[in-house]
């Protein structure tokens, strides 16, 4: 791979995750040197082939340890925070990762002489939410904006792509389970957004093309939970029963599941589903959307078959069989 480096260094926190790796690739293609700030650099070697030799360098950083955050931003021309968790695990709590962490990154960036960071939040971030996830996302945004008011905050809806934790999870479940759960009845609304479109938004923010403020990123279609599972089943060519589960029952199930590793869902995730996860009319009117910044979002139909084929009965070898 031949890349003309532009001489600028970007520190990306959470670089080895699902969204992070696509952000790294988008930045590398623009010629940035990338410092991939991750908890386990030994597990981030998959990032290096995304750029030219020496262009991407993993470094150890943990948002719970401020000194490691400070060290990771020294000498950087820009900082991106893509760290996020869907459920707490051990010391990786919502408060530590999504509330305290963003403020620590912003303070470190300010101390390093930067006037803004690019921060990945989520549609639904709300200090008054019944969901701890949504409250911690709101606290993270507040910490960023109180420290560096000229920052860019990107709030994506549910993100889909090859390594996502939504369509892959349910497609894998459908391989064995005859019934798939529709939490809350399956009426919750999403606006699924392609991971590469989110990564491109981040790269444009780093380029300086986005004005300071909060952007909401959604795809071209609004889909219900039921719609999403039906789309997944159509691509994987499987027939499964979709069972509506009322919110009170789903919440009780989540409280039990979250006591065990690899829980299919938690009670807090059930709370999130009580609020639609779509781009607001205010963001649309203000041009703080993908379309508003000149990105044509990809559709589910165009992307899902590229990575869900492996869940068909005969895997990718079903690709050219009659449906």
pLDDT of residue 6: 85
**DSSP per residue, 273-300:** TTS-B---HHHHHTT-STGGGT--PPPH
pLDDT of residue 322: 55
Could you tell me the pLDDT band of residue 1, with boundaries at 50, 70 and 90?
very low
CA angle 318, 320, 323 (to 5 degrees): 75
- For 154, the token pair is 């990107």
309 pLDDT above the threshold of 60: yes
- pLDDT tens digits, residue range 115-169? 999 999 999 999 999 999 999 999 999 999 999 999 999 999 999 999 999 999 9
Residues 32, 8 contacting (CB under 8 angstroms): yes
pLDDT of residue 319: 55
Q: Pick the range with the lowest mean pLDDT from 189-193, 233-237, 281-285, 314-318.
A: 314-318
**DSSP per residue, 130-141:** S-HHHHHHHHHH
Q: What is the mean pLDDT of residues 287-311?
A: 97
Average pLDDT value over all residues in the chain: 94
Could you tell me the pLDDT band of residue 2, with boundaries at 50, 70 and 90?
very low
Q: Pick the range with the lowest mean pLDDT from 96-100, 198-202, 224-228.
A: 96-100
Q: Which residues of 100-117 are buried (b: 16+ CB within 10 A; e: fewer)?
A: bbbbbbbbbbeebebebb
- pLDDT tens digits, residue range 212-251? 999 999 999 999 999 999 999 999 999 999 999 999 999 9
Task: Give the span between the Cα atoms of 12 and 289, in whole angstroms.
Answer: 22
- pLDDT tens digits, residue range 23-66? 999 999 999 999 999 999 999 999 999 999 999 999 999 998 99
Residue among 76, 108, 74 at smallest CA distance from 8: 76
């Amino acid at each position: 791979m031949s890349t003309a480096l532009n001489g600028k260094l970007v520190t990306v926190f959470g670089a080895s995750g699902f969204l992070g790796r696509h952000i790294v690739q988008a930045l590398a293609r623009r010629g940035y040197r990338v410092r991939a700030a991750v908890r386990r650099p030994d597990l981030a070697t998959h990032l290096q082939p995304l750029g030219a030799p020496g262009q991407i360098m993993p470094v150890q950083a943990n948002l719970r340890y401020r000194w490691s955050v400070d060290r990771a931003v020294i000498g950087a021309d820009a900082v991106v925070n893509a760290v996020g968790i869907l459920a707490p695990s051990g010391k990786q709590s919502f408060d530590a990762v999504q509330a305290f962490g963003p403020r620590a990154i912003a303070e470190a960036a300010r101390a390093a002489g930067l006037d803004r960071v690019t921060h990945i939040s989520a549609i639904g971030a709300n200090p008054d939410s019944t969901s701890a996830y949504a409250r911690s996302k709101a606290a993270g945004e507040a910490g960023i904006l109180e420290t560096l008011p000229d920052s860019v905050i990107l709030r994506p809806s549910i993100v889909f792509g090859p390594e996502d934790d939504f369509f892959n999870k349910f497609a894998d479940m459908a391989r064995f389970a005859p019934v798939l759960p529709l939490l809350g009845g399956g009426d919750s609304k999403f606006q699924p957004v392609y991971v590469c479109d989110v990564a491109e938004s981040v790269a444009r923010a780093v380029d300086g093309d986005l004005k300071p403020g909060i952007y909401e990123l959604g795809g071209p279609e609004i889909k219900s939970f039921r719609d999403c599972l039906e789309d997944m089943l159509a691509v994987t060519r499987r027939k499964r029963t979709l069972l509506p589960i009322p919110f009170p029952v789903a919440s009780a199930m989540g409280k039990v599941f979250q006591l065990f590793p690899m829980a299919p869902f938690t009670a807090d995730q059930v709370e999130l589903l009580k609020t639609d996860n779509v781009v607001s009319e205010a963001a649309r009117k203000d041009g703080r959307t993908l379309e508003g910044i000149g990105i044509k979002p990809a559709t589910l139909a165009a992307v899902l078959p590229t990575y869900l084929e492996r869940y068909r009965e005969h895997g990718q070898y079903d690709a050219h069989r009659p449906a």
